[in-house]
Chains A and B, each alone.
Chain A
Amino acid sequence: MSSTSPSTTAPASGEAPVTGTARVKRGMAEQLKGGVIMDVVTPEQAKIAEDAGAVAVMALERVPADIRKDGGVARMSDPDMIEGIINAVSIPVMAKSRIGHFVEAQVLQALGVDYIDESEVLTPADEANHSDKWAFTTPFVCGATNLGEALRRITEGAAMIRSKGEAGTGNVVEAVRHLRQIRGEINRLRSMAEDELYVAAKNLQAPYELVKEVATLGKLPVVLFSAGGVATPADAALMMQLGAEGVFVGSGIFKSGDPAQRAAAIVKATTFYDDPKVIADVSRGLGEAMVGINCDDLPENQRYANRGW
């Protein structure tokens, strides 16, 4: 695979349009801000998500809660299934490739998905390397549990970062941990003297230039979403108040009693995340939330957040 560096320069007047630039990839994620991206496994679910006001859907064969239950190797979804969802809705469609499985990513790009999630929810295909994301026109979102991990993914070309959380548990505790960790580490960088950033870069195992950029901006150079374990409108609002710029909801919607109503409620709570009255209103009469899993009860080898490095 050939690696291309990010192109951030626009073509001059009269030159042909340029696709796949860093600005077009990162800019796509900027458009999703304040929104909810929902896991769906059928075209019908995708339509329910779109009806509820989702900004995008994640097309996959099984939601994380079922992947967890079924066990075995979890792979990229069937192209027919992804295409069915692309044809069912007008909003952006994302799909997951295994970590390091750049051929699955090539297939997803060929299918025309709008974003590729190089996801720890699927079984990793490479224990050392993630995919070289600069080599693609389709932008990538990647999970991170801390700032170093986020910056390594951005170095590899990720145009959007999400917390990993612990997908398929309906338990928001890990997403909170990851988001607080990332935000806390960014705040520490901001308070550092210039000459301390070199050591910070070494400790974060990330390029100095990127570390310096984060220290200056006070945020990641790409959009940061929350993912993993969001099951209620209040969960979504919690992640937003903790600094997420939007929310992925996986099993939380279609493993609940009334998916359409819960989906719409989570969308509204994400927009009015700082207004407890709205959150209270939308939280009424939602029926049963998904049954959760206590993350402490998960054996070490079933923790998806530990996948990727």
Chain B
Amino acid sequence: MSTLSSAQPTVGVLALQGDVREHLAALAEAGVLARPVRRPEELEEIDGLVIPGGESTTMSKLAVAFGVLDPMRARIGAGLPAYGSCAGMIMLADKILDGRDDQETIGGIDMTVRRNAFGRQNESFEAAVEITGVDGGPVEGVFIRAPWVESVGADVEVLSRLADETIVAVRQGNLLATSFHPELTGDHRVHRLFAEIVRDAS
């Protein structure tokens, strides 16, 4: 764990591939120290972890190749707060559909997530989404070749559904996941929610 409890918590953004910079900026706006993490030893120095948007197959491969997958599993298993958007949601899912056969996830949230569930890029869309625990009206949901949550276990709280009932945001304990990309919108309320989870946990 990190430094003094009175200090700002440190949140790492998994920087193997994806929209890392946008998450770092959003976290800074949400009042935490944000830094990219790529190596096992860097994981030891953080109070929370964000898995960014990106290509989940690439992220998964690099996480295995550079020895960060097991350390992430261990820390998240031990209660490290984590938030995943899009590919990050896939990485936090215990089970995935339409992934590659050999695709490994970190897991942690008892849910089944379908990869690229909404379709290809031409089907990527924006829609307003209400999120439980995020006040001030709906957030602008940016869905890019996005996954959705097919089913959840008893301990998972569904935070958001689209008009057709599709589950697009969930929370289980200190773990948060969204199908969409709040980091692309300039609206930092979801990151503030995660920052709160990190502060409460540390």
> In the complex the two chains form, what is the Cα distance from A21 to B127 in whole Å?
11
Question: Which residues of chain B (121-158) have a CB below 8 Å from chain A?
Answer: 121-128, 130, 137-138, 140-145
Known contacts: A31-B86, A50-B57, A53-B61. The answer to whether A10 contacts B140 by CB under 8 A is yes
Which among A24, A35, A91 has the highest number of chain B CB atoms within 10 Å? A24
Contacts of B184 in A (CB 8 A): 23, 27, 30
Q: How many residues of A contact B (CB 8 A)?
A: 42
Give the CA-CA distance A30 to B115 in the complex, in Å: 18
**Most chain A C-beta atoms within 10 Å of own C-beta, residue among B38, B86, B121, B163:** B121
- Among B55, B115, B142, B163, max chain A CB count under 10 A is at B55
Chain A interface, >50% SS class: loop
Known contacts: A13-B138, A24-B144, A50-B57. The answer to whether A33 contacts B19 by CB under 8 A is yes
B8 beta carbon closer than 8 Å to chain A:
no
Q: Are B122 and A27 in contact, CB atoms less than 8 angstroms apart?
A: no
Per-residue interface assignment for chain A, residues 26 to 53, with 1 indicating a CB less than 8 Å from any chain B CB and 0 otherwise: 0110111111000000000000001001
Partner of A53, one of B57, B99, B122, B130: B57
Contact of B127 among A17, A28, A50, A272 (CB under 8 A): A17
A92 touches B121 (CB 8 A): yes
B142–A27 CB distance below 8 A: yes
Cβ of A115 < 8 Å from any Cβ of B? Answer: yes
Residue in A15, A109, A271 whose Cβ sees the most chain B Cβ within 10 Å: A271
Q: Which of A20, A23, A114 contacts B120 (CB 8 A)?
A: A114
**SS class, residues of chain B in contact with chain A:** loop
Interface band, chain B: 35 or more
Q: Does A267 contact B (CB under 8 A)?
A: yes
Q: Give residues in A with beta carbon < 8 Å to B.
A: 10-21, 23-24, 27-28, 30-35, 50, 53-56, 90-92, 109, 112-115, 137-139, 267-268, 271-272
Can you sample 28 A-B contacts with CB below 8 Å? Answer: A11-B126, A13-B130, A14-B128, A14-B163, A16-B127, A17-B143, A17-B162, A18-B126, A27-B124, A27-B142, A30-B53, A30-B184, A31-B144, A32-B55, A33-B18, A33-B21, A34-B17, A35-B17, A35-B18, A35-B55, A35-B58, A53-B62, A53-B65, A91-B57, A114-B122, A138-B121, A267-B61, A271-B17
